[in-house]
A and B are shown apart, each in its own frame.
Chain A
Amino acid sequence: MSAPTTYATIDMDAPGIPMSRLVKVELRKLVDTRAGFWLVVSMLIIAALITTAMLIWAPDDQLTFASLFAMMNIPTGILLPVLAILLVTSEWSQRTGLVTFTIEPKRSLVVTAKLIVSLIAGVAAVVAALALGAIGNILAGVFHGGAGAWDMTWTGVGHSVLLQMMYLVQGFGFGMLIMSSAAAIVLFFALPTVWSIVASIVPWLRDNIQPWADLGMAQLPFQSGEAVTGDEWLRLAVSAAIWILLPLVLGTWRLLRSEVK
């Protein structure tokens, strides 16, 4: 058989895919389906509705920049983790992982890109909440005489951002570990709640374990905007290690090793 003499072969010196391109692709995947698009839009709509509702019904002394911002962080705190979960689990539930991981077989790079994208979404949500809060507060000042106070500490903003990012990364970790959209979302919300209930019923758990292993409880001091103590930081760190770092590490381990089907 007379075969042609030479063929193009594999070029091992070709440039790899830079992280910026992976991030660009993942950002686009976040909003290029109806589900993803409406999840992002619904966060904005809910925030706008909350502002409107507060302007109509809230007492004047509660119509401040700080309280408007705080209210808006509640729906985003719920929806951002869902967004982070779907960003990971859709690769398995829609089986797009087959394509994603053949384009970039170094899965840790894909995971990093997805994590960067969820953090970008988180920061965008905080910025949007600040902007909508400011607009709401200006309107409050116009329509309600005694309202519209602007005093808010940077500590308060910083803590809000920190908590948002924690919810988000926790959702991301749950998504990687569980790999199924529905199960990951249910467990993300149910598991900490069930644990909190059990821990507060059993006296020994309540006294010895819960203060260090209940993330919701450890996050409480950070929601007020007041300064927090070193002890409270330590409790946050320990419970975050259990509820955020552990799922993240185990989830990454699972994602890197499992078979893509």
Chain B
Amino acid sequence: MPDAARPASGQTGAMIKVEGLSKSYGGFTAVDNVSFECRPGAVTGFLGPNGAGKTTTMRIIAGLTPANAGSATLAGHHYHDIPNPATQVGVLLDASAQHPGRSGREVLTLGAIAMGLPMTRVDEMLELVSLTPSESKRKIRNYSLGMRQRLGIAHALLGDPQILILDEPVNGLDPAGIHWMRGLLREYARRGGTVLLSSHLLHEVEVIADELIVIGKGKIVAQGTKEELLHSAGTFARGLDQNALVNALTQAGIGSSPSGDGGLRTESSPEEVARVAAAAGVVVTELRAAGGAGLEELFLELTAETQRDESTPEGVAI
């Protein structure tokens, strides 16, 4: 396991800091005035539909793409200026961007030579990501996407970095793989490491991340801890007599709206709704915090827009 929590003369502020970052290609704005921070000891999920600007942002942080405006720093330094950076910042940008004719072991060996690591580190990392010795000697062209992701994680962790930046690392992993990744990154963060990982699937990020940054069309649309974002959406309630429940709530000054599946949604807490229903003598059959609905709706909206853009045939006026 990476020993990320070296109790060195550290800092308690943001390890990754992105400020006013913008990048456009011709007329297309890929990243639009994006600012966020990632703190050590937490897994930060970077969530957004495909093409929202996640990869571009991460490439700018790793110094592979120049930004038009703003800055991206790691503990106050630009990636470009960090000596032997892969031993301090582990980066996985595209697990498929490997020479298909090299073996997984060869890729890690090249990395270990460049970073100046002992060759035993290669075996340790292969074991950590559960690539067997025979798999590690196979050419990457014969790897599944899941195996490439595991190799990419191994490469990112090779230099025992304090910061991890992973672009869609869960993509292509089966449920067991996602569970494994969750355990790995949680442990890494618990030891004091900083993790920024992107995904286009809400569920994946929900499982792994502590903090969330949601991006759509190059702009940050929401950010906060998972609890804040997932539980800010009030209460879902269903009554035996739906009209009576709505009336009781209205009389108590609580607004509500139908949820579309026979229930209703309010901004109040479940407890308040229960008290109102009990006082009015209305039978409630279902009552719970409407967990994540706000974020889910926001995310569906973002995704739907992208999908509609893609599926609109040319020449059709809307």
| Residues of A near any B CB (own CB < 8 A) | 3-17, 21-22, 24-25, 28-29, 32-35, 90, 94-96, 98-99, 101-106, 257, 259-261
Contact = CB atoms under 8 A, between A and B. Distances in A.
A14 B99 contact: no
A98 B88 contact: no
Nearest to A94: B99
A9 B99 contact: no
Given A17-B116, A34-B101, A96-B98, A6 B110 contact: no
Nearest to A90: B99
Given A33-B99, A98-B93, A106-B80, A10 B66 contact: no
Contact of B102 (A10, A15, A33, A104): A33
Nearest to A113: B114
Contact of A14 (B64, B87, B163): B87
Q: Name the prevailing secondary structure of the B interface residues.
A: loop
Contacts of A257: 66
Interface string B91-103: 1011011111110
Contacts of A28: 109-110, 113
Interface residues of B, number: 58
B39 A102 contact: no
B83 interface: yes
Given A16-B83, A94-B99, A102-B91, 11 more contacts: A3-B40, A6-B8, A6-B9, A9-B8, A11-B83, A17-B115, A21-B114, A99-B98, A101-B64, A102-B85, A105-B63
A29 B114 contact: no
Contacts of B39: 3
A6 B155 CA distance: 26
A98 B97 contact: yes
Contacts of A104: 114
A8 B6 contact: yes
B132 interface: no
Contacts of A35: 101
Contacts of B100: 94
Q: Name the prevailing secondary structure of the A interface residues.
A: loop
Contact of B11 (A9, A11, A15, A90): A9
Contacts of A259: 59, 64-66
Contact of A95 (B9, B81, B97, B102): B97
Contacts of A12: 77, 81-83
B162 interface: yes
B75 interface: yes
A7 to B, nearest CB: 4
Interface of B: 4-12, 15, 39-41, 59, 62-66, 74-77, 79-89, 91, 93-94, 96-102, 106-107, 109-111, 113-116, 155, 162-163, 192, 194
B12 A14 contact: no
Contact of B86 (A10, A13, A24, A103): A103
Nearest to A32: B106
A96 B101 CA distance: 12
Given A33-B102, A260-B59, A7 B113 contact: no
Contacts of B89: 10
B88 A11 contact: yes
A8 B164 CA distance: 13
A11 B9 CA distance: 10
Contact of A10 (B65, B75, B97): B75
Contact of A96 (B15, B97, B115): B97
Query: Which 4 residue pairs across A and B have the least CB separation, nearest first?
Result: A95-B97, A6-B10, A33-B101, A7-B40
Nearest to B88: A10
A22 B106 CA distance: 15
B80 A105 contact: yes
15 contacts: A3-B40, A4-B5, A9-B11, A10-B89, A14-B84, A15-B83, A15-B116, A21-B113, A24-B113, A28-B113, A29-B110, A94-B100, A96-B97, A99-B111, A259-B64
Contact of B114 (A10, A15, A22, A260): A22
Given A6-B9, A16-B84, A105 B192 contact: no
A99 B98 CA distance: 8
